């Protein structure tokens, strides 16, 4: 029994610390907002120009001028602020955001990340992902451990075009949690999902790793 998408999001939410400014990517990372631990207050940044993202609006209260980076309608909080895209990426690139939680296609043991392009298929674009991984203090990846085809996503070296080199700090998959540490130290498995064995993780992981689990 591996972790569900919601379990992965809940595990990622444990990376949040009180007072953090956080940017959440599209997909599973968006779900992290539902699992912010009690007693922890974080400010969510939306790279299209907002700090202090509120919950989704009630039906009938949507505002076309108020969306998140996934183009979904959202709401504001009393503490919210709005700014331009240049200001938004100045705070991202300038190292003012504490944590970014993103999805991925591949992560390598050296901390390289690929999450924007599959050659030969239609390319949608990198959006803000390259800026986020280049500038945010800590980058946590939440992804399925394997492709639908069974191909491993935690690899020796990415063969997809990179989003950033040596940028990943932590990877949370449906099978467990890995410390990547931007490739400065060897890849380490630090948690197993309930019901998942070390043998299963070894069989499904291309990158070699140290096991720091019981």
Partner 1 sequence: MANKVRKDAAEALDGLLFDGMTIMAGGFGLCGIPENLIAAIRAHGVKDLTVISNNCGIDGFGLGVLLENRQIKKMISSYVGENKLFEQLYLSGELELEFNPQGTLAERIRAGGAGIPAFFTKTGVGTLVAEGKEVREFDGELYVMERGLTADLSIIKADVGDTAGNLVFRKTARNFNPMMATAGAKTVVEVERLVAPGDLDKDHIHTPGIYVDAIFEGATFEKRIERVTTRPRAVEGAGAGEEV
Residues making contact with partner 1 (CB under 8 A): 30-31, 33-34, 36, 46-50, 54-59, 61-74, 76, 82-86, 88-90, 92-93, 117, 122-131, 134-135, 161-165
- Is 47 one of the annotated active-site residues of the chain? yes
Whole-angstrom distance, CA of residue 10 vs CA of residue 153: 21
3-state secondary structure of 204: helix
End-to-end, the C-alpha distance of the chain in Å comes to 18
- CA Rg, the chain, in Å? 17
Least Cβ distance, residue 123 to partner 1 (angstroms): 7
Q: Which is nearer to partner 1, 56 or 156 (CB)?
A: 56
Complex with partner 1: residue 32 or 171, whichever CB lies closer: 32
Phi, psi of 182 (to 5 degrees): 55, 25
Catalytic residue selected from 15, 47, 61, 206: 47
Distances (CA, A) of 187 to 33, 43, 88, 90, 108: 27, 30, 32, 31, 9
Please report how close the Cβ of residue 74 comes to partner 1 at its closest, in angstroms. 8
Separation in Å, CA 86 to CA 69, 76, 183: 14, 20, 30
Locate tokens 């992902």: which residue?
129
- Our CB check for partner 1 shows the closer of 11 and 204 to be 11
Kindly list the catalytic residues.
Answer: 47
């Amino acid at each position: 029994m591996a972790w569900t998408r919601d379990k992965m999001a809940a595990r990622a939410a444990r990376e949040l610390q009180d007072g953090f400014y956080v940017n959440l990517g599209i997909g599973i990372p968006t779900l992290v907002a539902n699992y912010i631990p009690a007693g922890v207050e974080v400010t969510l940044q939306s790279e299209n120009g907002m700090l202090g993202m509120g919950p989704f609006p009630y039906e009938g209260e949507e505002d076309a001028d108020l969306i998140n980076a996934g183009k979904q309608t959202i709401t504001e909080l009393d503490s919210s602020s709005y700014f331009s895209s240049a200001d938004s990426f100045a705070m991202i690139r300038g190292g003012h955001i504490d944590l970014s939680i993103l999805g991925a296609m591949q992560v390598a043991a050296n901390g390289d990340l690929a999450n924007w392009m599959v050659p030969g298929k239609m390319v949608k674009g990198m959006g803000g992902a390259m800026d986020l991984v280049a500038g945010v203090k800590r980058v946590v990846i939440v992804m399925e451990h394997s492709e639908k085809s069974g191909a491993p996503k935690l690899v020796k070296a990415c063969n997809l075009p990179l989003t950033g080199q040596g940028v990943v700090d932590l990877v949370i998959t449906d099978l467990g949690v890995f410390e990547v540490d931007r490739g400065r130290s060897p890849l380490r498995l630090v948690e197993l999902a309930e019901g998942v064995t070390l043998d299963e993780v070894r069989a499904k992981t291309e990158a070699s790793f140290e096991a720091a689990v019981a």
